[in-house]
C-alpha cells in the first residue's frame, strides 16, 4: 500500500487511542513494546503474563529505554508487571489490536 498523507493521518489517529472518551497517546517506543508482547511466542492468551527477559531486544530497545517505556506503560495502565513478567491489561489488549507500525 502506498502511504499517503491521509494514510499517515489515519495511522496516527489509530495509534492515539480513544479510551473512555480521552485520547491516549501511545509513543512509537511504547507501540514497539506492546507489539513485542503481543507477538511473543510465549503468549498463549492475550491477558497472560510473559517473561520480561529478552523482550527489550524484541522491541529493539536498550535496557534503560525499555525500563522507561515499561514504566510509562504501567502508569497508563496498558501493561502490568511484577519485574520478572509483563502482560497486557484489557486496555492494553484493545490498543494492541489497533496499532499499525510504519
What does the domain layout of the chain look like in residue ranges?
A: 5-96
What three-state secondary structure class fits 56?
helix
Please, are residues 51 and 85 in contact by the beta-carbon 8 Å criterion? yes
The pLDDT score that the predictor gives to residue 88 is 94
The pLDDT score that the predictor gives to residue 4 is 38
pLDDT over 50 (residue 5)? no
Q: Can you tell me the distance from the alpha carbon of 57 to that of 79, in angstroms, rounded to the nearest whole number? A: 18
45 pLDDT band (50/70/90 cuts)? confident
Average pLDDT in the chain? 80
The secondary structure element, H or E, covering residue 32 is helix 28-38
pLDDT over 90 (residue 42)? no
Residue 86 DSSP label? E
Question: Which has more confidence, 83 or 23?
Answer: 83
The pLDDT of 27-55, averaged and rounded, is: 90
57 pLDDT band (50/70/90 cuts)? very high
The pLDDT score that the predictor gives to residue 61 is 94
CATH of 5-96, one of 3.40.50.300, 1.10.10.10, 3.30.365.10, 3.40.50.2300: 1.10.10.10
Amino acid at each position: 500500500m502506498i502511504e499517503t498523507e491521509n494514510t499517515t493521518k489515519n495511522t496516527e489517529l489509530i495509534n492515539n487511542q480513544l479510551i473512555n472518551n480521552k485520547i491516549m497517546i501511545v509513543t512509537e517506543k511504547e507501540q514497539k513494546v506492546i507489539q513485542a508482547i503481543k507477538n511473543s511466542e510465549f503468549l498463549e492468551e492475550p491477558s497472560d503474563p510473559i517473561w520480561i527477559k529478552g523482550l527489550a531486544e524484541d522491541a529493539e530497545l536498550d535496557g534503560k529505554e525499555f525500563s522507561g517505556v515499561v514504566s510509562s506503560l504501567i502508569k497508563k495502565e496498558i501493561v502490568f508487571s511484577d519485574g520478572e513478567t509483563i502482560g497486557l491489561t484489557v486496555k492494553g489488549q484493545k490498543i494492541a489490536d489497533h496499532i499499525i507500525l510504519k
